[in-house]
């Protein structure tokens, strides 16, 4: 089992956010807001078997689906861009904030 860490980072302004992994909802909050001084809003962790995963993120009336292949611990940063797009960035290393 590998760690799947999903960090909600820039661009959240108090909106509801929901995250589902392989169709199972693992996160739902009504108000998610970025603390701009650290560029972080919230995060959630789960575990996942090695192999393909389907991660769906819903926020601001839109959704984004990612289908990474899990091979080890995965850190996924999710941000909302100025034009309302859901952006993501994957890393094998933990995120750092300051």
Judged by CB under 8 A, which of 1, 14, 49, 84 binds other proteins? 14
Q: Can residue 56 be called a binding residue for other proteins (CB under 8 A)?
A: no
Rounded CA-CA distance 91/33 in Å is 22
Q: Is beta strand 55-59 parallel, antiparallel or unpaired with respect to 62-66? A: antiparallel
Q: Can residue 10 be called a binding residue for other proteins (CB under 8 A)?
A: yes
Closest by CA position to 75, among listed 53, 62, 94: 94
Judged by CB under 8 A, which of 35, 47, 71, 90 binds other proteins? 35
Q: Can residue 36 be called a binding residue for other proteins (CB under 8 A)?
A: yes
Q: Can residue 96 be called a binding residue for other proteins (CB under 8 A)?
A: yes
Residues interacting with other proteins, by CB under 8 A? 10, 13-14, 34-39, 82, 94-98
């Amino acid at each position: 089992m590998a760690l799947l860490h999903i960090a909600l980072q820039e661009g959240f302004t108090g909106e509801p956010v929901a995250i589902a992994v392989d169709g199972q909802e693992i996160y739902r909050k009504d108000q998610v807001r970025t603390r701009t001084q650290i560029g972080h809003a919230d995060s959630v962790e789960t575990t996942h078997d090695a192999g393909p995963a389907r991660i769906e993120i819903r926020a601001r009336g839109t959704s984004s689906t990612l289908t990474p292949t899990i091979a080890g611990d995965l850190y996924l940063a999710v941000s909302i861009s100025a034009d309302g797009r859901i952006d993501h960035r994957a890393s094998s290393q933990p995120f750092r904030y300051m």
